[in-house]
Amino acid sequence: MNDLTITVVFIEDEAPIRRFLRTTLEHAGMQVFEAENGQRGLLAVASRKPDLVILDLGLPDMDGVEVIRQLRDWTALPILVLSARAQEAEKVAALDAGADDYLTKPFGVDECLARIRVLLRRHAGSSAKNEQVFVFGSVQVDLVQRQVSKNSQSIHLTPIEYRLLTTLIRHAGKVMTHRELLREVWGPNHSESSQYLRVYMGHLRQKLEDDPALPRHIQTETGVGYRLAP
Amino acid sequence: MSENNRTDSARPDPDALLAELQREEARSSRGKLKIFFGACAGVGKTYAMLAAAQARLREGVEVLVGVVETHGRAETQKMLQGLEVLPARAQEYRGRTLPEFDLDAALLRRPVLVLVDEFAHSNVPGSRHVKRWQDVDELLAAGIDVYTTLNVQHLESLNDIVGQITGIIVRETVPDHMFDAADEVTLVDLPPEELLDRLSQGKVYLGEQAGRAAQHFFRKGNLLALRELALRRTADRVDAQMRAYRADQSIQPVWQARERLLVCVGPGADAEKLIRSAARLAASLHADWLAVYVETPALQRQVKQQRERVIANLRLAQEMGAETSVLAGAELTVTLLAFARSRNVSKLVVGKSLRSGISRLWRQPLSERLAQRAQDVDVYVVAHELAGDEAPPSRRSASSLFFGDEKPSQRWQGYLAAVFACGLTSALAAALLNVFDPANVVIVFLLTVVLVAIRFGRGPGIAASFLSVLAFDLFFVPPQLSLTVNDTQYLFTFVLMLGVALIISQLAARLQFEARIATYRERRTRALYELGRDLAGALTAASVVEIGLRKLEELFAARLLLLLPDAQDKLQAAGELGSFDLGLAQWVFDHAEPAGMGTQTLPAAGALYIPLKAPMRLRGVLALVIDDHALIATPEQQRLLETCASQIALSLERVHYVEVAQDAIVAMESERLRNSVLSAVSHDLRTPLTSLIGMLSLLQSEKLDAGEQRSALGAMNDEILRMNSLVTNLLDMASLQSGVKLKREWQLLEEVIGSAARGCAGQLQQHRLRVELPRDLPMIEYDAVLIERVLVNLLENAAKYTPAGSEIVISARIEGEQVAVSVCDDGPGLPAGAAERLFDKFTRGTTESSTPGVGLGLAICRTIIAAHGGGIHAENRQPHGAAFTFTLPRGTPPALSLDAE
């Protein structure tokens, strides 16, 4: 294994899932360190200095959200959370605590690897953000000129819509909770009025999506938030 | 005993057996009472009791001396050695501290056997119970055995006989039922000679009575008589035991037709003797007995002290085992006999009248009147004994057991009105004299008398009678303004007029009395009826409490509180506790006996506490503070209160069992549901599992080529996804069943449609999906996660039941106050008649079809939509296809101020 090998710390108490994911990731050329509870997981992250942490929220010894908080005290490395369906509140709590994305069990190998790739790429890119033009589907966003076009046709966005779009672009591929978006777009004072967010999101979909009711890029994560899928 | 030994006639009555069984049960949990019974003080009861206790102690039984009076006798004192003695409790009374038996300490200590001397002792006021025998009763109820001592003169029913023999009245008595209920009675007998011997040696404690009175008491004649009484009473008990034994062994049926005695009591002091006689007679006949007081117009004019005496007499009768009643009627004999017939009374006991001579001719004594009218009832007449110290009643204020006191001012008003009415009539008649004949004037006066008597009763009526005659004489009979009469014919007119007026006023007053009685009865009946009716409508314990309190407050003008037990049988006040005593209420609840004001337990308490007895168990305690104590003094009022209490108790029990029944129905329903879930789930889980295991073993056998392997893996993937969706649905249903808690937010519909479509993109790969939303669709308030479930389920359904290549359309429109969302397909449509049944749990389009899914999906949809206040239905489309439509309330979206375009 050379220095470029991606290392992952996987904190999960269920042995079958550990085995399945370990096999998957090692086949994808990553090195995996397993931890079966929160305390060992925190130790593993501190000692192994991994590129990514995959964390199951249901741990025997401590709350998964608490693990995220403790990690976020000292590291910005990407955290991918695993959770069961119908636990939207838990997902939101994890994301608000600093997790980067989540995967709902049961999930497939491809989906998991895609998320990991997005996170690693974003993490690598965030240190050197020099993209001028962001493209998704037929939409082009010129971040320097502050111009948006679709199929080479210029699209007019209101200031808030533009701010919302650039925020989503900044975190492209990552799910943003309502609270995160409100805070970044409106500032901390407007963190409760998520109806505004929904309306502006609707406007963005109307203006940028081919079929606003079946959006391909500006995706709604029901009960959690939004994600810009490039 | 073998079956064939018994004939049918000897077979015991099942009811009797049941009663015996219940008695047996009660007995086994209760402590055993042993009474050391003697003829008089000094026969050695305490000594015998201690000797028996010592014997028990040697057997290893835990014995506690609760209270023993040794009166300093050395030999008795010696018997105390080795026994644990409970320290006396200090009871404050009128500035003095008096020692008293410590009941609570004894209950806390819980020995097997407690010795409690002097069964008939009256406790120092302020103690929990008025009498020591009640303390003993509580000990027995707690399962503690008790030894106690008793002299024959303290037995309630023999009390007056002993008094007659010895000339000393003993106030401390024990009710006969306590004596009869004792498990063992040991007669401690000493021949009078030996007793007198002991007396002369100073071995007998004479109590606090004056020496001479005591000396008078201990005469040989007295002692012989007392000894005979004690022996006879013990023999009676043995006789009763013998009969009970025979009943037990069902050798022959016990007395078949029970006698029932009725004793009529008045306010006099002689009533006490009457009651005791009746009690003895009833005991010797093994009969039930009733004691009644009949309130008639004549008796209604009694003074307050007499009224209290009536109540005291009735209470005495009650203590001696009688059922008591107060009746009201115009005529004593009629009322009494009507009551006797209604209660199947066979013997009537009345006092002998003291009237003699002329008054006997004027009015027949009660016993004779009764004897004349009562054909089917035996009448027993009991001799009277003149009570010399009875003060003549002062006729200050009339008093009724039914209506309370009449105010003196009301009486004066009546008389004033009589005077005024007569004056007015005179003036009127004078004015009309030129039209009227004097004979008609008489009629006008009589009319006035009638009116006054009806309005103000007997007294003013009589006054009006006299005044009318006087006025007629003064103003209308010549010579006018003089009492002298020219024409002697008028003297007859006066006499006749007075006679008619008096009779009329009497009749009018009686009419008024009966009207009042009727009103009173009607009020009571109506109150009970209303209480019953309102309680019948109550569906929760809270409304039972509310209704009960409201009605009782109206009825008794009292401050009330209901206390209901919690799961640990600790009472909780259903309202402000205020001055009510929770501890006493708890005692009442634990012992199922009333306590407080007017009862035998803590009578000094400010409130009355009544247990709410229902057939299955106690339901709580009713506590009430009544300002006018007289309102609950009569047996009728007490019974009314008890009736109300038991109605409330019944309602509480009914409500309780309604809840139990509902729980049972819910449990049954969920049991049924669980069974159908189990059968459906086991089918739908086993099918994919079977194919998975099969295909897996195929793969492991390595006999498949690459293409076959791929297709097997694809099939396995499908099966697993199917199982996943089934498990998801089951979990959803489970969480919805445990209560839907909506997280509603105002949001656009398209968001949830988009995410739902993305969620089932896999299943929809073979289908075309189209969304048609009006641009002006407002925001709707809904739980996004749940509505997404609905859409996913409908989409999956459409994908499942339509062939590949079908088109699925999601559309929405505003319909009045609703927003309707439809998921339509152009597949084969729904089977006929399935439209509504589809949404029931575990219904599938076609039973046991090859298409999997337990049909939970649509049931989940319906639950979610119903929680949102909307509806869901399915229908077929023309020419073919199915449409599932759900509605959500539009509500009023919040106004938003958006930035300009």
Establish if A159 touches chain B: CB-CB under 8 angstroms: yes
Closest approach of A91 to chain B, Cα-based (Å): 13
Q: Percentage of chain B with pLDDT > 90? A: 6
For residue B259, give the DSSP letter: P
Under the banding of pLDDT at 50, 70 and 90, the label for residue A11 is very high
Cα B530 to Cα B528: distance, rounded to the nearest angstrom: 5
pLDDT at B123 over 80: yes
Which of B242-256, B297-311, B541-555, B651-665 bottoms out in mean pLDDT, i.e. has the lowest? B242-256
Closest approach of B601 to chain A, Cα-based (Å): 60
Q: Count how many residues are written for chain B.
A: 901
Cα B114 to Cα B111: distance, rounded to the nearest angstrom: 7
Under the banding of pLDDT at 50, 70 and 90, the label for residue B407 is low
| A195 → closest Cβ in B755, B810, B896 | B896
Q: Which of B744, B751, B790, B795 to mutate to test the interface with A (most CBs of A within 10 A)?
A: B751
> Any alpha helices (H) in B343-437, and if so which ranges?
358-362, 366-373, 408-431
- Which has the higher per-residue pLDDT, B551 or B24? B551
Residues of A whose CB is below 8 A from B724: 106
At B753 the pLDDT is 92
Establish if A160 touches chain B: CB-CB under 8 angstroms: yes
pLDDT at B851 over 70: no
A and B: number of Cβ contacts within 8 A: 73
DSSP string of A57-77, one letter each residue: SB-SSSBHHHHHHHHHTT---
For the ranges A211-225, B410-424, B570-584, the one whose mean pLDDT is highest: A211-225
Chain position carrying tokens 């001028």 = A132
Establish if A200 touches chain B: CB-CB under 8 angstroms: yes
CB contact under 8 A, A212 and B750: yes
CB contact under 8 A, A212 and B748: no
Cα A218 to Cα B671: distance, rounded to the nearest angstrom: 46
- Which has the higher per-residue pLDDT, B332 or B837? B332
Q: Are B164 and B221 in contact (CB under 8 A)?
A: no
Residues of B whose CB is below 8 A from A196: 896, 898
At B820 the pLDDT is 94
At A34 the pLDDT is 92
Residues of A whose CB is below 8 A from B773: 213
Chain position carrying tokens 């007396």 = B199
Residues of A whose CB is below 8 A from B755: 219-222
Residues of A whose CB is below 8 A from B900: 158
Closest residue, chain B, to A196 (C-alpha):
B896
Cα B203 to Cα B382: distance, rounded to the nearest angstrom: 41
Cα B658 to Cα B653: distance, rounded to the nearest angstrom: 8
pLDDT at A52 over 90: yes
Residues of B whose CB is below 8 A from A221: 755
At B390 the pLDDT is 39
Q: For residue range B84-97, what is the model confidence (pLDDT) as tens digits? A: 888 888 888 888 88
Cα B345 to Cα B747: distance, rounded to the nearest angstrom: 82
At B7 the pLDDT is 44
Q: Write the CB contacts of B77 (distance below 8 Å, at least 6 apart in sequence).
A: B70
Cα B560 to Cα B625: distance, rounded to the nearest angstrom: 6
- Which has the higher per-residue pLDDT, B406 or B55? B55
How many Cβ atoms sit within 10 Å of the Cβ of residue B862? Answer: 20
Strands B113-116, B63-67: parallel, antiparallel or unpaired by DSSP?
parallel
Q: Which of B716, B746, B750 to mutate to test the interface with A (most CBs of A within 10 A)?
A: B750
CA A173-A177-A182 angle, to 5 degrees, is 110
ipTM, 2 dp: 0.87
- Which has the higher per-residue pLDDT, B674 or B442? B442
| Nearest alpha-carbon partner for B615 in B558, B654, B587 | B654
Q: What is the pTM of this model?
A: 0.47
For residue B630, give the DSSP letter: G
| B769 → closest Cβ in A205, A214, A222 | A214
Under the banding of pLDDT at 50, 70 and 90, the label for residue B775 is confident
Cα B327 to Cα B639: distance, rounded to the nearest angstrom: 13
Q: For residue range B647-678, what is the model confidence (pLDDT) as tens digits? A: 889 898 888 888 888 888 888 877 776 776 67
For the ranges B449-453, B673-677, B806-810, the one whose mean pLDDT is highest: B806-810
Q: Write the CB contacts of B869 (distance below 8 Å, at least 6 apart in sequence).
A: B888, B889
Closest residue, chain A, to B812 (C-alpha):
A213
Establish if A186 touches chain B: CB-CB under 8 angstroms: no
DSSP SS3 for A187: coil
Phi/psi at B414 (5° precision): -60, -45
**Backbone conformation region of residue B557, classed left if phi is above 0, alpha if psi is from -120 to 50, else beta:** left
| A215 → closest Cβ in B745, B754, B896 | B754
| Nearest alpha-carbon partner for A41 in A76, A66, A17, A16 | A66
For residues B723-751, average pLDDT: 82
pLDDT at B149 over 70: yes
At B393 the pLDDT is 41
Cα B658 to Cα B655: distance, rounded to the nearest angstrom: 5
Cα B272 to Cα B285: distance, rounded to the nearest angstrom: 20
Cα B483 to Cα A180: distance, rounded to the nearest angstrom: 115
Q: In what helix (H) or strand (E) does residue B608 lie, and over which residues does it extend?
A: strand B608-613
Q: For residue range B327-360, what is the model confidence (pLDDT) as tens digits? A: 877 777 888 888 888 777 888 888 776 555 555 5
Q: Are A7 and A33 in contact (CB under 8 A)?
A: yes
Average pLDDT score, chain B? 79
pLDDT at B147 over 90: yes
CA B329-B333-B338 angle, to 5 degrees, is 70
- Which has the higher per-residue pLDDT, B719 or B738? B719
Q: Are B353 and B316 in contact (CB under 8 A)?
A: no
Q: For residue range B225-279, what is the model confidence (pLDDT) as tens digits? A: 888 888 888 888 877 777 676 666 554 443 444 678 888 887 776 788 888 888 8
For the ranges B227-236, B511-520, B799-808, the one whose mean pLDDT is highest: B799-808
Closest residue, chain A, to B724 (C-alpha):
A106
pLDDT at B14 over 70: no
Q: For residue range B100-110, what is the model confidence (pLDDT) as tens digits? A: 888 888 888 88
Q: For residue range A56-96, what is the model confidence (pLDDT) as tens digits? A: 988 888 888 999 999 999 888 999 998 876 678 888 899 98
| Nearest alpha-carbon partner for B519 in B609, B387, B402 | B402
Q: Which of A179, A214, A221 to mutate to test the interface with B (most CBs of B within 10 A)?
A: A214
Q: Is residue B479 reached through a cis peptide bond, with omega within 30 degrees of 0 on the bond before it?
A: yes
Q: Write the CB contacts of B634 (distance below 8 Å, at least 6 apart in sequence).
A: B311, B314, B326, B401, B402
Sign of the Cα pseudo-torsion (B45, B50, B54, B59, in order):
positive
CB contact under 8 A, A222 and B755: yes
Cα B628 to Cα B695: distance, rounded to the nearest angstrom: 90
DSSP string of B686-701, one letter each residue: HHHHHHHHHHHHHHHH
Closest approach of A120 to chain B, Cα-based (Å): 24
> Any alpha helices (H) in B702-773, and if so which ranges?
706-737, 749-759
- Using a CB–CB cut-off of 8 Å, the residues of B that contact A are 724, 728, 731-732, 735, 743, 745-748, 750-758, 769, 771, 773, 779, 784-785, 788, 810, 894, 896, 898-901
Closest residue, chain A, to B771 (C-alpha):
A213
Cβ burial of B786 (10 Å; 0-12, 13-18, 19+) is buried
At B459 the pLDDT is 80
Sheet architecture: strand order including B768-772 = B768-772, B807-815, B818-825, B882-889, B872-876
Residues of B whose CB is below 8 A from A212: 750
Q: Which of A107, A208, A222, A226 to mutate to test the interface with B (most CBs of B within 10 A)?
A: A222
Under the banding of pLDDT at 50, 70 and 90, the label for residue A204 is very high
| A158 → closest Cβ in B758, B896, B900 | B900
CB contact under 8 A, B899 and A86: no
Q: Are A8 and A32 in contact (CB under 8 A)?
A: yes
Phi/psi at B595 (5° precision): -150, 170
Q: Which residue(s) pair with B99 in the sheet?
A: B90
Cα A183 to Cα A199: distance, rounded to the nearest angstrom: 16
DSSP string of A155-191, one letter each residue: E---HHHHHHHHHHHHTTTSEEEHHHHHHHHH-GGGT
**Two tokens, residue B85:** 């003695």
For residues B635-647, average pLDDT: 81
Cα A229 to Cα A217: distance, rounded to the nearest angstrom: 5
Establish if A110 touches chain B: CB-CB under 8 angstroms: no
For residues B452-457, average pLDDT: 80
> Any alpha helices (H) in B93-143, and if so which ranges?
103-109, 132-141
Q: Are A83 and A102 in contact (CB under 8 A)?
A: yes
CB contact under 8 A, B750 and A202: yes
**Two tokens, residue B297:** 């117009």
Q: Which residue(s) pair with B64 in the sheet?
A: B84, B114
Which of A10-24, A177-191, B52-66 bottoms out in mean pLDDT, i.e. has the lowest? A177-191
CB contact under 8 A, A223 and B743: yes
Cα B622 to Cα B544: distance, rounded to the nearest angstrom: 12
Closest residue, chain A, to B743 (C-alpha):
A223
Q: Are B808 and B877 in contact (CB under 8 A)?
A: no
CB contact under 8 A, A222 and B785: yes
Cα B362 to Cα B7: distance, rounded to the nearest angstrom: 62
CB contact under 8 A, B750 and A222: no
Closest residue, chain B, to A219 (C-alpha):
B755
Under the banding of pLDDT at 50, 70 and 90, the label for residue B408 is low
| A158 → closest Cβ in B745, B756, B901 | B901
